[in-house]
Copies of this chain bind each other. A is one copy, B any other.
Amino acid sequence: MTPDELYAQIRAKRSCLCVGLDTDPAKMPEGLDVLTFNKAIIDATAPYCVAYKPNLAFYEAMGLEGWRILGQTVDYLRSRYPEQFLIADAKRGDIGNTAKKYAETFFGSFDFDAVTLSPYMGRETVEPFLQYPGRYAIVVALSSNRSAADFQYAENGGKPLYQSVMEQCMEISSPDNMMFVVGATKADRLREIRAFCPDNFLLVPGVGAQGGSAEEVIAAGANSRCGLLINSSRGILYASSGPDFAEKAAAAAAATARL
């Protein structure tokens, strides 16, 4: 998918919402299985979002069955909602020959459009993901969690580390194959990030359960073609724990990250 195609979908739906599929059996309505729950959430929210982001940890924790459900969820999205942008939230990051295998996993074995990456081991960890036309590396720059400040503000070449990460990644990529994670709890930083990174899409977690505001993110971080994918997970998946969970998820999705 090109950035223009993604933007066309955002305009058509007047939404830049990404629904995070952090599906946790312990939080679902009783009596449902994970795949049935995912399908119901997807059917209910698809008119109000442009992207889905399964969080790999939640599937891996279910063992072999979880890996199977992840594949079935991706296949369901691909067949029913081919316009949706599909992100593997995997935070992978390893040396070149290993990164190449992860790229094969998410862009070959699975049919994701994008995968989130952790940059600690350097540009080499990102490069293999840039070799797939129409697919994206989404590199964590500034995350939304409380311990983001432990290391992400270190000084690298006279700049904060998150900026150095973004600039070094931009040197080896283009907005056609690179996005960045910038947490919604860091909305004050979004304006300055847009000064050195005007064109790339930003994936913004942290609205809802983590306390960030989608409105503030849009005001500070939008560019001429939106350039934002705002993620909400728990606030949508678990909007209700009763039999109306899908209806409440749709309402929560319709109310989040509207343009």
Tell me the complex Cα distance, A124–B123, Å.
24
B152–A120 CB distance below 8 A? yes
Q: Cβ of A168: which chain B residues have Cβ within 8 Å of it?
A: 150
Tell me the complex Cα distance, A120–B94, Å.
13
Nearest to A156 among chain B residues (CB) is B154
Per-residue B-contact encoding for A124-149, CB less than 8 Å = 1, 0 else? 11000000000000001001111111
Q: Cβ of A22: which chain B residues have Cβ within 8 Å of it?
A: 97-98
Nearest to A169 among chain B residues (CB) is B150
A11 adjacent to chain B (CB < 8 Å): no
A195 adjacent to chain B (CB < 8 Å): no
Q: Looking at the complex, which one of B57, B63, B120, B146 makes contact with A151 (CB distance below 8 Å)?
A: B120
* Size of A's binding interface in residues, CB under 8 A: 56
Q: Cβ of A92: which chain B residues have Cβ within 8 Å of it?
A: 57, 91
B95–A60 CB distance below 8 A? no
B156–A151 CB distance below 8 A? yes
- Knowing A60-B102, A124-B147, A156-B154 are in contact, say whether A94-B95 is a contact too (CB < 8 A): no
Nearest to A70 among chain B residues (CB) is B64
Interface on A for B, CB 8 Å cutoff? 22, 24, 55, 57-58, 60-64, 67-68, 71, 89, 91-99, 101-102, 104-105, 108-109, 118-125, 140, 143-156, 161, 164-165, 168
Contacts beyond the supplied A61-B108, A91-B121, A124-B146: 4 A-B pairs with Cβ under 8 Å: A122-B143, A122-B146, A151-B161, A155-B156
